[in-house]
Amino acid sequence: MELSVIMPVYNERGTVREVLDHVLAVPIDKEVIVVDNCSTDGTRELLERLDLPGVRVIFQTANMQKGNSVKKGIAAATGEFLVVQDADLEYDPQDHVAMLAEAEKDDVVGVFG
């Protein structure tokens, strides 16, 4: 597993499936870890029915804020590299390719984009 994509989610019913489709389409060996932060808009129910290879969903038992969801996703990750992908379509998952290429260089400690 080369890349772990951590996706914190809170009330993203309208975009989460589209973002997941875009992330899964990126040609990189990856796992996707979605952490739902007690969504109340139907996101949680959508994620409960989700059956996508390579996607794991973690359900918070209380709203613990985004930072805690990211930490929970990181703790569950098995990839050599990590990226946080918000579920609101703001960031293009295709950027993972260029970021990973930079991260794999010997003298690079971290990549932000």
Split into its structural domains, the chain has a count of 1
**58-111 pLDDT, tens per residue?**
999 999 999 999 999 999 999 999 999 999 989 999 999 999 999 999 999 889
- pTM of the predicted model as reported, rounded to 2 decimal places: 0.94
Establish if 113 belongs to a structural domain: no
- Assign residue 40 the CATH number of its domain: 3.90.550.10
Cα within 13 Å of Cα(64), Cβ side: 16
**20-69 pLDDT, tens per residue?**
999 999 999 999 999 999 999 999 999 999 999 999 999 999 999 999 99
The CB-based long-range contact list for 53-62 (8 Å cut-off, 24+ gap) reads: 54/24, 54/30, 55/20, 55/24, 55/31, 56/31, 56/32, 57/33, 58/33, 58/34, 60/35, 60/36, 62/38
Establish if 19 belongs to a structural domain: yes
